[in-house]
């Protein structure tokens, strides 16, 4: 009786293995999304909490815009203006099911910054977000800094954007636009709300 049960289990195992192998010969995006159990760091949730904090706390928010000619304009920023600019960070969500599988996660400890770094990157040049680095304090495991690199190609130009977020204090948006005719211009926008 035990031999019969063992034989049946062995046959069921081989049939299941064959079906699994056959089903995986041609990857199906929908199938990979359904079976995806990888958990990425909740970057969007982090940004939402930061935006909520700034929106509900009476910080003095200001921004400095620097252009190619090094001309700087500094001015106060309303909460509404802050939220609109912060939207650029919220839009860089790589956890969406249709793109998540294009990214790989690497985690390493950086002794020089006393941080644990989560690195998400892709080799797919068609995707907007090319990489994200999240630095966590190695003692508290709380976010210290997030760096996002994005590329976008349009009919007449390539736009390279680097977005940096310093938790609870400031963010920076660097944009470089390279036109097909060879002309280039860049802007940098710094936003601060909790710097003593």
Each residue's pLDDT, cut to its tens digit, for the chain (196 residues) gives 444 334 433 333 333 433 333 333 333 344 344 455 578 999 999 999 999 999 999 999 999 999 987 789 999 999 999 999 999 999 999 998 899 999 999 999 988 888 899 999 999 999 999 999 999 999 999 999 999 999 998 889 999 999 999 999 999 999 999 998 989 999 999 999 987 5
Question: Given this model, what pLDDT does residue 1 score?
Answer: 43
Q: Strand 115-121's sheet: what is its strand order?
A: 72-76, 62-67, 184-192, 170-179, 157-166, 143-153, 129-137, 115-121, 104-110
Largest Cα–Cα separation, the chain: 86
Instruction: Return the residue matching tokens 């192998």.
Output: 21
Spatial separation of the C-alpha atoms in residues 188 and 186, rounded to whole Å? 7
Identify the burial level of 60 via C-beta atoms within 10 angstroms of its C-beta, where 0-12 means exposed, 13-18 middle and 19 or more buried: exposed
How far apart CA 68 and CA 78 sit, in angstroms, is 25
Provide the pLDDT for residue 196: 56
């Amino acid at each position: 009786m035990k031999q019969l049960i063992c034989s049946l289990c062995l046959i069921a195992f081989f049939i299941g293995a064959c079906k699994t192998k056959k089903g995986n010969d041609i990857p199906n995006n929908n199938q990979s999304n359904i079976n995806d159990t990888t958990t990425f760091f909740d970057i969007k949730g982090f940004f939402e909490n930061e935006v909520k904090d700034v929106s509900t706390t009476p910080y003095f928010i200001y921004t400095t815009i620097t252009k190619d000619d090094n001309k700087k304009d500094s001015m106060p920023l309303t909460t509404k203006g802050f939220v609109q600019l912060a939207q650029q960070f919220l839009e860089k969500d790589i956890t969406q099911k249709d793109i998540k599988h294009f990214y790989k996660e690497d985690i390493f400890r950086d002794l020089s910054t006393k941080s644990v770094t989560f690195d998400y990157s892709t080799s797919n040049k068609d995707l907007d977000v090319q990489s994200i680095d999240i630095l966590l304090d190695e003692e508290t495991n709380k976010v210290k800094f997030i760096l996002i690199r994005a590329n976008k190609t349009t009919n007449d130009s390539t736009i390279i954007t680097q977005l940096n977020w310093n938790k609870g204090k400031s963010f920076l948006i660097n944009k470089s636009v390279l036109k097909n005719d060879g002309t280039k211009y860049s802007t940098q926008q710094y936003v601060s709300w909790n710097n003593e």
